[in-house]
Amino acid sequence: MKKIILLLSVLALLCITGASIADGPVAYQEVKLTSSLFNGAVVGKTVVPAGWKVYIKELGLGSESIMWPNALHVIAFSPDESVVLHYISRRDFRERQVTAGSYSTHSDDDAYDKSSMVHTLNYREAGAACDFMVNILFDDSSHTFLYEASKPAGETAFLEKYRQKYLEETESGLSEAIQLLGGKMQLLGVDLTAAERVYQSGSKKTAMAAMTSGFEAYINEPSVAAYDTIDWSINCLYAMQADSALFDQYYDIFTVFRMNTSTTQEYDEMTKLHSQILQNYLMMLQSGKEAPDPTNDMNQATEDTIETGYTYSALEGWSDTIQDRNDYKTSDGLHVKIPTLYDHVYEGDDGTIYAGIGNSLETPYGSTELFPTEVGE
């Protein structure tokens, strides 16, 4: 674990931490997210205040779809457990309606279809996904919607560029499938949405932030059936619940948590490869062909991805630039995000990360100055 000391000006204090939480700068700890399923490899990271407890749940067979078979659920508690943070990495779902003559069936809303190895869930835009997931994560009270949180200009610009990129890549990727099906397949829609909502939950307030994306395709096989399918993802989900009186003070900690909690690109690449291997295996079995055990191929995919370490991707660099933050690589190979308003960042010999504005930070004894990470490092 690492501690991160942010030495702030008065204005910066409002952006990073509530003054009533601590008299001085808040110390944060960087926590490696390691996998008990994949040989203890680092699969992500988070940053929370020092002294907070962090737990990791790995989601897989029985809850995750074959299109994206691995996911992480990170839960962080304050020392007195009065505040809880959640992060859930990408999860894939499917909604499908099949019509054959006068007969029609629709997939269940939140069930696991073992025949297709898919988690069925009706499509929801990001706001509705927040409404749905608040009841999944916090089922001990009713949740009354209060307001939609506004997004910073930089985040809004990033989301719009990311949305356009997703639309273009999805439409391009499906064009080949549409041509192969000779007009039997129609792309009905593609979208990506993001939202953050705040709820009153009994004596507490809850913040939920999510991004969802997906596409709807219609395939008509006149002699068989018509299939209307929505394949979609909750790309990421973040949540915080705290006593109502303390919610605003802890909200900036939630912002730091969101800025610094994610899976690695190696974990995402492994999951994509696992999906391809498993889908090929399932198709061979369903067609009656003899299929070799996929375990060796999946183990090789794991070795080629998460066991090689964690690198800084171009997409992550683009995101950091738009959101006015820099990435720094620490001595143990992990990465930490620091807002660009900090001029100097140092790593102490005990692993503590110090960040200061202008001359607010003297070089800590025994420390080494860090510099923004270059893409690919």
What is the dihedral sign for C-alpha 319, 322, 325, 330?
positive
Q: What percent of the chain has pLDDT over 90?
A: 48
Average model confidence (pLDDT) for the chain? 85
Query: What pLDDT, in 10s, does the model give residues 110-149?
Result: 999 999 999 999 999 999 999 999 999 998 668 999 999 8
Residue 14 has pLDDT above 50, yes or no: no
Beta bridge partners of 97: 106, 228
pLDDT at 376: 56
Q: Is 151 or 119 the better-scoring residue by pLDDT? A: 119
Q: Is the pLDDT of residue 163 over 70?
A: yes
Q: What is the pLDDT of residue 174?
A: 84
Quote the CA–CA distance of 134 and 143 in Å, as a whole number.
8
Alpha carbon distance 312, 305 (integer Å): 14
- Give the model's confidence band at 151: pLDDT under 50 very low, under 70 low, under 90 confident, else very high: confident
Query: How does pLDDT run across 105-118, given as a tens digit for each residue?
Result: 999 999 999 999 99
Confidence of residue 74 (pLDDT cuts 50, 70, 90): very high
Between 310 and 138, whose confidence is greater? 138
Pair of tokens at residue 169: 């890549």
Residue 3 has what pLDDT? 59
Tell me: pLDDT of 76 over 70: yes
Q: Is the pLDDT of residue 11 over 70?
A: no
The most confident of 21-25, 138-142, 345-349, 356-360, by mean pLDDT: 345-349
Report the pLDDT averaged over residues 242-257: 92
Strands 2-7 and 353-356: parallel
Residue 4 or 349, more confident: 349
Q: Mean pLDDT over residues 198-227, rounded? A: 92
Q: Helices 295-304 and 265-286 sit at what angle, rounded to 10 degrees?
A: 160
The pLDDT value recorded for residue 200 is: 95
Is the model's pLDDT at 169 over the cut of 90? Answer: no
User: Tens digits of per-residue pLDDT, 212-222?
Assistant: 999 999 998 88
Euclidean distance between CA atoms 368 and 119, whole angstroms:
47
Q: What is the pLDDT of residues 170-190, one digit of tens each?
A: 888 888 778 777 668 888 999
Average pLDDT of the segment spanning 246-268: 91
Sequence-separated (6 or more) residues with CB below 8 Å from residue 136: none
Provide the 3-class DSSP secondary structure of residue 215: strand
Q: Which amino acid is at 25?
A: P
What pLDDT, on a 0 to 100 scale, did the predictor assign at position 318?
62
Lowest mean pLDDT among 89-98, 130-139, 308-317, 332-341: 308-317
Grade residue 280 by pLDDT with cuts at 50, 70 and 90: very high
| For the chain, percent of residues with pLDDT exceeding 70 | 85
Tens digit of each residue's pLDDT (9 = 90 or more) over 34-47: 999 998 999 999 98
Q: Give the distance from CA 327 to its chain's centroid.
A: 17
**Is 349:332 a contact under the CB 8 Å cutoff?**
no
Do the beta carbons of residue 6 and residue 342 sit within 8 Å? yes
Strand partners, 112: 119
Question: Which of these, 253, 273, 261, lies nearest to 237 by C-alpha position?
Answer: 261
